[in-house]
Amino acid sequence: MMKASRAALSMFTALRIDIDEEDLASLARHFWVVPVVGLLLGMLFGGSLFLLREVTTPLLAAALVLLGLHMFNRFFHMDGLIDLGDGLVATGDHERRQTVMKDTHVGAGGVTFAVLFVTLNVAALASLPWHSVFMLALAAEVLSKNAMVSTAAFGRPRGRGLGATMVASTRIDQLMVSSGLAFGMIMAVGIYPIMWLGADPWWVMVIASLGTMASILIGLVVAYVANRNIGAVNGDVLGAVNEIARPFVILVMLAVVQWSGSMLW
* Model confidence pLDDT, tens digit, residues 106-123: 888 899 999 999 999 999
In a domain, 31, yes or no: no
In a domain, 170, yes or no: yes
In a domain, 22, yes or no: no
> How do residues 213-253 score in pLDDT, each as one tens digit?
999 999 999 999 999 999 999 999 999 999 999 999 999 99
pLDDT at 131: 78
Residue 216 lies in domain: 37-263
pLDDT band at 16 (very low <50, low <70, confident <90, very high): confident
User: CB atoms < 10 A from the CB of 107, how many?
Assistant: 16
Does the pTM exceed 0.75?
yes
In a domain, 202, yes or no: yes
In a domain, 23, yes or no: no
Percent of the chain whose predicted confidence (pLDDT) is above 70: 93
User: What's the CA gap between 250 and 222, in Å, rounded?
Assistant: 17
In a domain, 191, yes or no: yes
In a domain, 18, yes or no: no
* CA angle (161 as vertex; 42, 227 as ends), nearest 5: 75
| pLDDT of residue 261 exceeding 70 | no
In a domain, 84, yes or no: yes
Tally of domains within the chain: 1
Give the mean pLDDT of 16-22. 83
User: What's the CA gap between 193 and 210, in Å, rounded?
Assistant: 19
pLDDT at 198: 62
